[in-house]
Amino acid sequence: MTESRQIIHVIMDAFYASVEQLDNPELVGKAVIVGSDPKQRDVVSATSYEACEFGVHSAMPMSKAIRLCPKPIITTQIDIMICSAL
């Protein structure tokens, strides 16, 4: 008997940004970057698809993300209760 093997590739870069957009509909269609204060040395945790179009991705330094994306909406808070309910 031949077993069929399937591989699923899931890109989770946008997950937390999508949760923010679900929680705050005003953010839909805008470049959302989830991370910490851009004045501190930190990295991007997640980005919306709109921010990805500017070349921003997770694990990128926040300072570089700000340079690439002209008017990002930066959010530092993620509601863990909402994420766990999804």
pLDDT digits (tens, 9 = 90+) for 37-47: 777 788 998 99
Please state, for a pLDDT cut of 90, what percent of the chain lies above it: 37
For the chain, list the domains and their CATH numbers.
Answer: 15-77 (3.40.1170.60)
pLDDT tens column, 51-78: 999 999 989 999 999 999 988 998 876 6
Contact present, 48 and 30 (Cβ < 8 Å) = yes
The whole-angstrom separation of Cα 47 and Cα 19 is 11
Partnered with residue 61 across adjacent β-strands are: 43
> Is residue 47 classed as helix, strand or coil in its secondary structure?
strand
Is residue 57 a contact partner of residue 70, using CB atoms and an 8 Å limit?
Answer: no
Give the Å distances, CA to CA, from 81 to 23, 25, 47.
12, 18, 20
